[in-house]
Structure 1
Amino acid sequence: MSENKFGKLYAVGVGTGAPDLMTLRAINLLKTVDVIAIPEKNPGARDSFAWEIITGALQEEEMQGERLFLWFPMTKDASITVPAWTAAADAIDECIKAGKSVAFVTEGDPSVYSTWHYILDEKDERWPTVEVEVVPGITSITAVPAATGIPLAEGEERFCVVPATYGINMLPRLAEEFDTIMLIKAGRMVEELKAMLTKLNLLDKATYVSHALMDKQEIYPLDQVPAENRYFSMVQISIRQRKGVLRTGISKND
């Protein structure tokens, strides 16, 4: 088959969970593509949060494309993950080479800690001439500040985003450099974070949010998080040392 008959590949961010926060571009695209590729947590289980978001915004009959569920294991064991990623790429490869347009959907945004990158890593070898389009989605990085009502950054403020699993050891340095620290995937690190932030005298600056902007959204000061609340969570540490610099006209770095 000649290369000009290859299909187009899309990476589509569907947002953080609330179906009505999906973009119009994502919704319109999912109505028209030939194949919707959907990451799932367990093989054959169709336990995909991304798909749950999509079906909250679109009726099944509105999407003309076939559904392609792909297993992306929730483990760091390379003996499990690498074969699964290869199998997912093989399945997409078959569709692309059949001339079909494929939309790979992902929670949040495809460019931010998403499963899309395991597919993108295959592009140069498998589909060097295939056109790829990324459709951005709302991420927890902006959804959480919307939920807390605390700005991410203004004026000369700086912010950073790190996974809580390894970011916790970086907190002393990050607290000196940044006004807001966004810790993603923080659910299992609550106790460790509380201990570290207590040492840094920053515990009162930390807000925990789970299921941001969804019906089951919960927000707590970090030291009041219930033991059972540990899913779809993020911690916003708002130090904001440079707050109001533009209003005063005096830089705190002067």
Structure 2
Amino acid sequence: MKTGNFYGIGLGPGDPELLTIKAVNTIRNADCIFVPKSDTKEESLALQIVEDYVGLKKIVTQIYPMTKEKNILDAAWKKSAEEVRDEVLKGHDVVYLTLGDPMTFSTYIYLLRHLGALLPNEVIHTIPGITSYNAAACFGNFPLLTGDEKLAVIPVPEDVASLRPVLELFDTVVLMKVAKKLDEVLFLLDDMGLTGNGLFASYIGQKNAFVTCDLLSLKGSGRGYLSVMIVRKNSNTSIG
């Protein structure tokens, strides 16, 4: 039997209109769609984004535990990869949905590592998606880079003070996974005189999207969840 193909598809930040044409066509032509979902959520945002293109295809929901225990997570990813492999070896074209871009801070990468040992490389394909920080910058008309400027993309560390040399070295810094560290980040930016040079966005691409350049107004707001912050050394290129 002819082997099928596997497609990992980046869905972007949440707006169905930000899907690429290639992503839409691949979903429409697939035989089976794998949908990741955490064990704490009732519905999958990924499936909601592509619902207009799914039709009557076979849908397999894969539940992933919300834990940091590496052995538990690795076992879950291995099981998921084996389920995908079984469908591909049946000759089916398989799609795996993932938010954002598959190769940027994505748990999809862990699945890909296991698939690499189970399937030939020529049947594994990854389709890019728009990152949350790119979508946020465009939504807020906030330039990321011009000329020879340097960009850093970094998750907020446990020790927020360690961001200081990064903010000093790079022209633009994208802070991911702000979460509960929002107020600490704002304190650091205020201390460095950078609160007037940034953009904050949460739930970008979704109905409850929020974007602001008034960073100081965020103190005590608790808006860190599903958010991204972009900070520039030079405020002159800010349009929004």
What TM-score comes out, normalization by structure 2 length?
A: 0.88
Aligned counterpart for 1:6 among listed residues 3, 6, 9: 3
Deviation at 1:195, TM superposition (A): 2.1
Structure 1 residue 227 corresponds to structure 2 residue 221? yes
Aligned to 1:82: 74
Q: Identify if the C-alpha distance between structure 1 residues 104 and 190 changes in structure 2 by more than 3 Å, giving closer, same or farther.
A: same
CA distance in 2, matches of 1:167, 1:72: 28
Structure 1 residue 20 corresponds to structure 2 residue 17? yes
Provide the secondary structure at the position in 2 that maps to 1:165: coil
Q: Identify if the C-alpha distance between structure 1 residues 130 and 166 changes in structure 2 by more than 3 Å, giving closer, same or farther.
A: farther
- Greater Rg, structure 1 or structure 2? 1
Aligned to 2:142: 150
Runs of 4+ in 1 over 3 A off after TM superposition: 165-170
Which stretch has the larger CA shift, 12-21 or 209-218?
A: 209-218
Identify unmatched segments of 5+ residues in structure 1. 244-254
Which stretch has the larger CA shift, 66-75 or 7-16?
A: 66-75
Aligned to 2:49: 53
Identify unmatched segments of 5+ residues in structure 2. none
Contact residue 8 and residue 100 of structure 1 kept, 8 A: yes
Provide the secondary structure at the position in 1 that maps to 2:29: coil
CA distance in 2, matches of 1:183, 1:60: 34
Provide the secondary structure at the position in 2 that maps to 1:204: coil
Contact residue 110 and residue 136 of structure 1 kept, 8 A: yes
Q: How many residues were matched structurally? A: 236
Aligned counterpart for 1:101 among listed residues 65, 80, 93: 93
Contact residue 7 and residue 124 of structure 2 kept, 8 A: yes
Structure 1 residue 202 corresponds to structure 2 residue 194? yes
Q: Which amino acid aligns with 2:49?
A: I
CA distance in 2, matches of 1:213, 1:90: 32
Deviation at 1:133, TM superposition (A): 1.5
Contact residue 9 and residue 103 of structure 1 kept, 8 A: yes
Deviation at 1:73, TM superposition (A): 2.7
Deviation at 1:129, TM superposition (A): 4.7
| Aligned CA-pair RMSD | 2.4
Aligned counterpart for 1:238 among listed residues 209, 222, 232: 232
Aligned counterpart for 2:36 among listed residues 27, 39, 61: 39
Deviation at 1:187, TM superposition (A): 2.5
CA distance in 1, matches of 2:163, 2:181: 13
Percent of pairs with identical residues: 27
Which stretch has the larger CA shift, 13-22 or 129-138?
A: 129-138
CA distance in 2, matches of 1:187, 1:90: 33
Aligned to 2:106: 114
